[in-house]
Each structure stands twice: as structure tokens, then as C-alpha cells.
Amino acid sequence: MSAANAEVSVVPANEATWEELRTILGTRGPASRCQCQRFKLARGESFGSFPVEERAHRLRDQTSCGDPGARHTSGLVARLGDEPVGWCAVEPRPAYDGLVRNSSRAAWVGRDEDRSDPSVWAVTCVFTRAGYRRRGISRALVLAAVDVARRGGARALEGYPMTTTSGAILEELHVGALSTFLDAGFTEVLRPSLRRAAVRIAF
């Protein structure tokens, strides 16, 4: 799928290589340590309970990187020309066991709905590789996530972005900026804290 920016292309992660995704997440910093497993942890698991290599192994299985024929993948990869530059995690919300199971203020405070509803999808991570930020990569990823969820049969897609303009905080949390989601047609549905919002787009 092509993004709004003609230089940026976005593909399902299974159509990208594992090496491309590893390049995006890097070898230092929060993304390299998380391996997009924050909301994938099972009950009783923690980052301290298994090494980063295991987190990476799980991500590789979840994305099916390098297998264009895979029936499922857990996200999107953005390229600027031939260079891998961005990652977005998007799936049906129940796929994020940690998000559904816990009482995360980012998603649930003040809300009463079926957390196991597979027709509601979620974007839990929007990450742009260092050196390529402020080039529309996150915007392209969120727009592509909307398209993927809609075509996947979702009745709604959620995100949990930050309102802060601090690049350091956004990089640490990998949740994207509120303005990026609003520009893509999302509506704010919850403000659990001054800087955190829950947003949603219905199909």
C-alpha cells in the first residue's frame, strides 16, 4: 500500500524482511529492548523474566517477516525509498493480552465495554527510526493502519498517543503523537492524563 507521501511506502510486516525490522528498531534504546512486547506479555510475565533475544524471537514469529504468503502479521513496515525507516503495531485489540487484561489508564479508565471484542483493533506502537523523524513516516504508518484495519473487517480502530511535543518522551513510549492520529481521522474519546489520550476511528 502506498502512503500519502510519494517517497514513503508502507507494507505489511510479513512483506518486509526481518533484517529490515531489526534495522528500524536498532540495537540501542527503548525500541531495541522492548521489541514491541509491552502489551504482548502473558499473565505473570515481565521484561525481567526473559531476555531481549526471546522478545525478538516472539516479534519475529508475530510479524512473519519474510513470508509474503503468511495469513497473519502483527504490523507494518515503512520505507523511505529502499531504506527501512518505521514500524507500526496494529492488530485486533484482543491480540494485546496485556492491554486487554490490565487496568491500563491509557485504554480503560472510565470506559465500560467488551475488551475481548475482536472487531475493535488497536495501534499500540508507532516508531520512526532515528535520523528519519519529522519526514511524515509516522503519519504514513497511521494512515496505513487505518486502511489495514478497515480491510480486515474492523468496526473501529484505537490508538493511545501522547499530546507532548517532546520527541524524547514519544521515543520512549512509542505511542505516536495525538496530532498524527487526529489528522488521520481519529477522535479523542478519553483523556486519562494531561498528556495521554485514547483516540478512535469508526468504520
Domain ranges of the chain: 8-202
Quote the longest CA-to-CA distance of the chain.
44
C-alpha cell at 15: 512483506
Is the four-CA dihedral 100, 104, 106, 108 of positive or negative sign?
positive
For residue range 104-125, what is the model confidence (pLDDT) as tens digits? 666 777 778 888 899 999 999 9
Ranges 15-29, 98-112, 183-197: which has the least confidence: 98-112
**Secondary structure of residue 2 in the 3-state scheme:** strand
Is pLDDT at 1 greater than 50 in this prediction?
no
Q: What is the pTM of this model?
A: 0.90
Phi, psi of 41 (to 5 degrees): -65, 140
5: pLDDT confidence band, cut at 50, 70 and 90?
Answer: very low
For residue range 46-71, what is the model confidence (pLDDT) as tens digits? 877 889 999 999 999 999 999 999 99
Q: What CATH number does the domain located at 8-202 have? A: 3.40.630.30
